Each structure stands twice: as C-alpha cells, then as structure tokens.
Amino acid sequence: MPVNQQNICIIGLGYVGLPLAHAFAAKGYTVHGFDINEGRIEELQNGHDSTNELSDTQLQEVTINFSTDAAVIKECDVVILAIPTPVDDNKKPDLTPVRKASETVGKNMKEGAIIVYESTVYPGTTEEICGPILEEHSGLTCGKDFTLGYSPERINPGDKEHTVTKIMKIVAGQDSKTTDILCALYGDIITAGIHRAANIKTAEMAKAIENAQRDLNIAYVNEVAMLCHKVGINSSDVLEAAGTKWNFLHFQPGLVGGHCIGVDPYYLVEIAEQLGMDTHVISAGRKVNDGMAKLVVDEVLDAIGGKGKILVMGLTFKEDVPDTRNSQSYTVIKALQNAGCDVYAHDPKAPNGDVPRATLEDGPYDAVLLLVQHKEYREMDTQHIIDAVKDGGVIYDIKGMLDAEKITASGRKFLAL
Ligand SMILES: NC(=O)c1ccc[n+]([C@@H]2O[C@H](COP(=O)([O-])OP(=O)(O)OC[C@H]3O[C@@H](n4cnc5c(N)ncnc54)[C@H](O)[C@@H]3O)[C@@H](O)[C@H]2O)c1
C-alpha cells in the first residue's frame, strides 16, 4: 500500500512519463496516464512500450489507466507533466508542447491539486510561464487554490541499471507544505533518496546544468580529438595516457545528438540572453559538438575522393535505444547525400525512415561508417566489416569498436575521432 493516498495523473507517456507511471502504479497508487498521441495510448493499453523502457511483462504487471481523455485529470490530487522540451530550427527553446499541456491541465484540474513539472526547462518556466497558464485556464489562483512543484527526471534512456527509482530525485515545491508532500510522495517510490532543493528555480537550473556539463566535457575531448588529427596522433591513445592520472575525467569524443545533452544547454543560453548575459563556455560547447558531424563527413569524403557508395551503421542518437530524435547520424547522411554519395543505412534498433536500408552483405562499399555503439555492433567481428569494404576503401569507427591494426593491414583506411 502506498504511504500516501494521492491519485496521480502523468501527462505525457514517453521515455520519462511511462517509467514514472509504472513506478507509482507498482507501489499501489491509482495512476492515470494521459497522452495526446492515440497510437501511443493504444500500444500501452495493449501492453507494449515501443520505447523499450519497460518490457511487456513490466507494463502488464501494473494497472495504469491509459487515456486520451483529459477528464481523468479532474480525479487527481497530483498531476505530473513529462512533456517534450525541444528547440526550434534556430536552436531556441520551443515551449509550445509544455504550454499546450499546461492549458489542458488548467482546463481539467481540480482545486487543491499539486501540479508538478518533470520536463527539462530553464529556471522560471514552471512559476512564470506554466503557473499563469494554469491560472488562466482553471480560473484558480496559484499558491492558494493549487500549488506548483518541479522535479527533474534524470534517467538515461536505454540504461537498465540507473532506472527511475534508483536515481536520487531532486524535488522542489512552491511552498514548504507542497515540498513536504512531494518529498513524501516521490520518497515512496525512489530508493536512491530525495534531494530537497532550495526552491523550484534551483531545481530547474540544477537539471539543465547537469546536461550542459556533460555537453561541455564531450566538447572538450572532441576538440582534443580534432587537434590530435592535426598533430597526426591517435586521440584514443592520448586519452588513454592522460586517463592514467587520478583526476583526469574520462569522456570519449563523439557525435552529440538526442533531445537532452544537445538541446538543454540552449535553454541556459536562452535564459542568459533574456537576462542580458552572454554565455561563452556553454555556447562554445554546443558549437564544437554541433560541428562534429561535418568533421566526420569531410574526412570521409576526403578519404574516398569525393563520392561513393556508403553504408552508415547506427541511426539512433545513442546506443541500444530506438530513438532517432536529433540524431547526428542523419546530419552525416544528409551531408554525404548532398555531396553526391549513394548512402544506405543500417540499424538494428531504429524504425525504418527515409534513408534506404542495406546490410554489409549488400556491399562492397567505398566506405562503411560505424556511428553508434549498439550491442550488435560491439559484438561484430572486424573481418565482417572489412569484407564489405572495397580494397582501399574507408572504415570510420567513431567509437573505436574495431581492430584498427587489422583494418589497416587489410588495405582499408581506418578513420576514427
Ligand atoms: N528521454 C530522456 O531520457 C529524458 C531524461 C531526462 C529528462 N528528460 C526530459 O523529460 C521531458 C520529456 O521527455 P521524453 O523523452 O519523455 O519525451 P517523449 O517525446 O518521449 O514523450 C513525451 C510524450 O508527451 C506527449 N505529449 C506531447 N504533448 C502533449 C500534450 N499537450 N498533452 C499530453 N501529452 C503530450 C507525447 O505524445 C509523448 O508521448 C523533456 O523535457 C526531456 O528533456 C528526458
């Protein structure tokens, strides 16, 4: 039995919302799950999660009332929003989904409810943007008739070890009573403990800077890798040597895509701009990481002499997930296509998209680019890839998964970041 008696509604049942709904339901809470995506609700009602965050067994072992009917919000004491927070084409935060979901909640919430945001946002979003939308559409007064909370989600998609209940949860409410209630509620499902943040803005900022820090650390090793290329040495050898010092931070160069690390720093840039401040370090990290796809393409085109038949292996933004949002693999593919290359894609996890699919057996290729560290690729024999590439052709191994010496000895060109 749950320690608290609240009915909970999760708004947005994606990578974040669904595991959270599951965690509350597994503890015996009455959980409603609302999403505007009918297809998503249908698959969840049928006991399947296409994001692979929950197995069919996990999903089917709990009771969650999945619905596209916003009326379920009325029944809930705590409403938790896990709505996307992307950037637009100009890399500006796009709060439209959060605004729209807040309108829906405002129209349907009951008096006395606590409305909690889990989406990654810039400080001030919950209280200065979402609170007034909720007031406008509910006719209620924030802080009196209902209160706000913020608790960022820190899961790592595809990571079956650090799942929602095993990550310390940052929790903040707009007043101490709300914070107490939310700490007790989340404390009931989170085994890793609760961090009571000083206030909502602090919790919002903490989440955004976590991801920006990761972006910057990767940008640093990406820049190091570029410099190593100029110097004519292998960046992984350099990082291995430097990594023997006890306080050297271990990061690998790579493409930074997805909807978190490559996006959240822009939320900090935005709030800084609104407050009349320039971000130098945060913006530099984004610039370096956004430039890595071009570096890969330039090196491949140079090595194959401008044009050719290419297989890109790995379309998702990271390994072992089916999520292709903001994947840099697509930036690489588009640039290769624009250069006149005949590009094919392979991915054991990603759903079929616009790029024609092919396998290594459909070679020989002028170049094979291994861009994502999927388990299937980590277990692949280097010879299998060598056999698919023309003599003198290129194998680009972005994460150093293959046997570089074997590739070079075979007469193929080995490239890596
Ligand atoms: N995916 C992650 O690993 C991760 C980790 C930490 C934080 N976050 C943050 O959590 C938030 C949610 O991310 P996600 O990955 O779960 O997104 P997602 O796209 O997987 O899921 C969001 C869901 O919200 C639904 N939705 C959109 N608008 C809606 C509306 N108006 N009403 C109801 N439902 C609506 C969508 O249909 C979708 O199912 C984002 O702010 C993200 O940055 C994500």
Is pTM beyond 0.85 here?
Answer: yes
* pLDDT in the model for residue 2: 54
324 lines ligand 1 (CB under 6 A): no
Q: Whose CA is nearest to atom 10 of ligand 1?
A: 119
119: CA distance to ligand 1 center in Å? 7
Q: Are residues 261 and 121 in the same domain?
A: no
Kindly state whether residue 404 falls inside one of the protein's structural domains.
yes
258 lines ligand 1 (CB under 6 A): no
Annotation says 183 is catalytic: no
Q: Are residues 106 and 51 in the same domain?
A: yes
Q: Residue-wise over 271-298: b if at least 16 C-beta within 10 A, else e?
A: bbeeeeeebeebbebbebbbebbebbbe
Q: Whose CA is nearest to atom 31 of ligand 1?
A: 101
Kindly state whether residue 199 falls inside one of the protein's structural domains.
yes
* pLDDT in the model for residue 159: 83
3-state SS, residue 96: helix
d(CA 255, CA 290): 8
* pLDDT in the model for residue 400: 85
d(CA 15, CA 298): 34
Number of structural domains the chain divides into: 2
120: CA distance to ligand 1 center in Å? 9
Exactly one of 9, 130, 260, 341 is catalytic; name it.
Answer: 260
167 lines ligand 1 (CB under 6 A): no
Q: Are residues 131 and 257 in the same domain?
A: no
Q: Are residues 134 and 17 in the same domain?
A: yes
118: CA distance to ligand 1 center in Å? 9
Q: Are residues 203 and 274 in the same domain?
A: no
Kindly state whether residue 399 falls inside one of the protein's structural domains.
yes
Atom number, ligand 1, closest to the C-alpha of residue 119 = 41
Which amino acid, 165? T
- Tens digits of per-residue pLDDT, 151-199? 999 998 878 889 999 999 999 999 999 999 999 999 999 999 999 999 9
- Tens digits of per-residue pLDDT, 123-136? 999 999 999 999 99
347: CA distance to ligand 1 center in Å? 23
208 lines ligand 1 (CB under 6 A): no
16 lines ligand 1 (CB under 6 A): yes
Kindly state whether residue 230 falls inside one of the protein's structural domains.
no
Kindly state whether residue 67 falls inside one of the protein's structural domains.
yes
User: Token pair for residue 72?
Assistant: 């379920």
Sign of the CA dihedral with 102 first, then 105, 111, and 115 last: negative
Residue 323: φ, ψ to 5°: -85, 120
**8 Å CB contact between 395 and 410:** no
53 lines ligand 1 (CB under 6 A): no
- What is the span of the domain harbouring residue 170? 7-208
* pLDDT in the model for residue 3: 52
Q: Are residues 168 and 306 in the same domain?
A: no
36: CA distance to ligand 1 center in Å? 11
Q: Are residues 199 and 239 in the same domain?
A: no
Q: Are residues 247 and 192 in the same domain?
A: no
205: CA distance to ligand 1 center in Å? 18
Task: Report the DSSP beta bridge partners of residue 9.
Answer: 32, 79
Q: Are residues 183 and 310 in the same domain?
A: no
Mean pLDDT by 10 residues, the chain (417 residues): 75 96 96 98 97 94 97 96 96 98 98 98 98 98 98 89 93 98 96 97 98 97 94 93 97 92 97 98 97 95 95 94 92 97 96 92 96 94 96 93 94 94
Q: Identify the CA nearest to 369 among candidates 340, 405, 393.
A: 393
201 lines ligand 1 (CB under 6 A): no
Pocket probe for ligand 1: among 20, 153, 320, 327, the residue whose CB has the most ligand atoms within 8 Å is 153
Kindly state whether residue 223 falls inside one of the protein's structural domains.
no
Report the CATH number that the domain containing residue 395 is assigned in CATH.
3.40.50.720
Kindly state whether residue 192 falls inside one of the protein's structural domains.
yes
Kindly state whether residue 154 falls inside one of the protein's structural domains.
yes
